[in-house]
Amino acid sequence: MSEQLIKKEKYKFEDYIRMFAGESFYFVFSDIFLEHYKELGVLSVQDSKNWISFLPKNSKQKTLEKGKNLFTNKKLFDRYNKDFYNYMEESSKYFESILRKEIIGAEETKIFLDLTSKHFFYTDLIDQEKMAISTSQFGKLKLDGRAYLNKILFEGNGYLRSFIKKISNQTNVPESELLSYGVGEIIELVRSKKRIDPDEIKIRNLYFHSKEDRLFGEDSKELAKKFISRHQKISNEIPNRSKLRGIR
């Protein structure tokens, strides 16, 4: 059995549910995203128009219970809340100190990128009447968390994009190419100047990405099409979609 056929048999759409979705997602974002979710077996899939992540159905309840336990147990929440705001304060100091440096080392790169994938949390299946915290506390944590995630990953002058620009200047690899590197590949580029062939970079706008497998371009198309098109077909067939509950 060929390697491609093995992968097709390994990933079955009916074994997964949708997590997050968007119009496009640079591969470096996908790699950071999966660094956090890899133990859950999450998939990150992008075709020419859409990016969607998928969670194995057998992991769903575990993730939802984690969020439910966090927000219905005041002791757990207080600990998490303290750790979360400490993380924001300490990581922002580290990000800004690195961005002030003329030359960034491989170990500093590793720490910087590792800090970008911390402190995601789950909020579905939470009965607000059973929450051990007020709705204003819950809302503040969600809004602050979302704002900080945007500042790290998605803002044009945010921490990650500013870091990519500095690494681009340091290594003479265009920023547009670096956005299609994986985390380990950026670290290796800084450490040993090992550059990915630009022809390979060109195909990395299409991918099917899991903890074990990375497929790009033509190699990813069949699996990506299967997951994304079948998801869209099911979504279009479901009435009153606003009433559905999902993982956000």
Question: Cα 107 from chain centroid?
Answer: 22
Under 8 Å CB-to-CB from 80, ≥6 apart: which residues? 70, 121
Phi/psi at 136 (5° precision): -70, -40
Task: Give the burial class of 158: count Cβ atoms within 10 A of its Cβ; 0-12 exposed, 13-18 middle, 19 or more buried.
Answer: middle
Enumerate the domain spans of the chain.
3-243
Distances (CA, A) of 163 to 145, 179, 201: 20, 11, 19
pTM: 0.85
Tell me the mean pLDDT per 10 residues along the chain, length 248: 58 90 90 86 92 90 75 86 93 97 97 82 59 81 88 91 97 97 97 96 96 93 90 52 32
Provide the pLDDT for residue 181.
98
For residues 186 and 68, give the distance between their C-alpha atoms in angstroms, rounded to a whole number.
36
What torsion, rounded to 10 degrees, do the Cα atoms 81, 83, 88, 93 define?
A: 150
Return the structure tokens found at 200.
């390979």
For residues 117 and 134, give the distance between their C-alpha atoms in angstroms, rounded to a whole number.
27
Provide the pLDDT for residue 152.
93
**3-state SS of 112-165?**
HHHHCCCCCCCCCCCCHHHCCCCHHHHHHHHHHHHHHHHHHHHCCCCHHHHHHH
